[in-house]
Structure 1
Amino acid sequence: MEKVLSAVIARLPLTPGVYRFRDAAGQVLYLGRATVLRRRVASYWLDLRDRGHLAPMVARVRRIEAVSCDSAHEAAWLERNLLTTSLPPWNLTMGGQEHPVYIRLDPRPARPGLSVAHEPANRPADIAYFGPYLGGRRARQAVKGLGRVLPLAYTGAGLRGTLLD
């Protein structure tokens, strides 16, 4: 069986994507994503190092499925969507590790500006939300960069003291 899986792994693309491990009954054991599919999937049959707890799962794998994606970000979204619908026994969190965030544009005169927010339960009509984006770090970097180019916070009516200068 290991020779068959080795042949499957050798045919996997060197692209980002999502992979599934299935057992003999066809049940999904684990679903993951990779920046380089072939390298990531092969790592389960090499030295597991600090992932020794995965050895029992690897021993049960009988089929590998993979979906190639155009980018690591697309793979993250696909993984999230698949994990939202079901949670295989070896995955830990429903929906994956990242959470969707939005870029929030508040045009109100008192405090105009951009910020990162999770989707609010009730969206005020005068505040715009752009997204969703996966992972808050990149969204915060984008907001910070936009704030340098378009410093909306300094156009507010509620400025005091030296901020008025």
Structure 2
Amino acid sequence: MSTLWRRTSRVRRGVRILLATLASLVTVGLGFWGLYNQSTLYVIENGPPTSPFSLPLSIRNPGSVFRATNVSTICHLISLRLGPITMDNVRMKNKENDIAEIGPGETKLIPCNITNLGSEIKATMEISGTYKTLGITRALRKKHFNWQKDAVPPRWIEGD
């Protein structure tokens, strides 16, 4: 009986060690995932421009550990109406919108500029893009802005 008791005690001890090790690995993994997820980039406004042809935005990396690399943004003009003329789905991609790296806690400017076309304008802009964290490509959360010509001062306002 004592030999059987020793064997089951060893098995129980081994199972406890295995469970403690698994619990530690899960805890470390969840902590790492939380830090990784904290580095999700987002778009912020830099203040109200007074022209529908300039949308000064920034991308912020709120993380405290991981840097974002190969950040590439697209300014997608969903709709533009100039009096009787309507344009839909115009994508603007400039080299100045590509950012090599955004470090933890950093904010970088991404200008979305359009050539001046006139004063009777209605426009909606969508900002999207991609970046890498630890070599994994991720998508920037899309954001919409509408040109409000009747606002004081006239400006881009976030929303659909």
Q: For the superposition of Structure 1 and Structure 2, which TM-score range results when normalised by the shorter chain?
A: under 0.3
Structure ID, larger Rg = 2
Of Structure 1 and Structure 2, the greater helix share is in: 1
Name the structure where strand makes up a greater proportion of residues.
2
Higher relative contact order (CA 8 A, sep 6+): 2
Normalising by structure 2, report the TM-score: 0.24
| TM-score for the superposition, normalised by structure 1 | 0.24
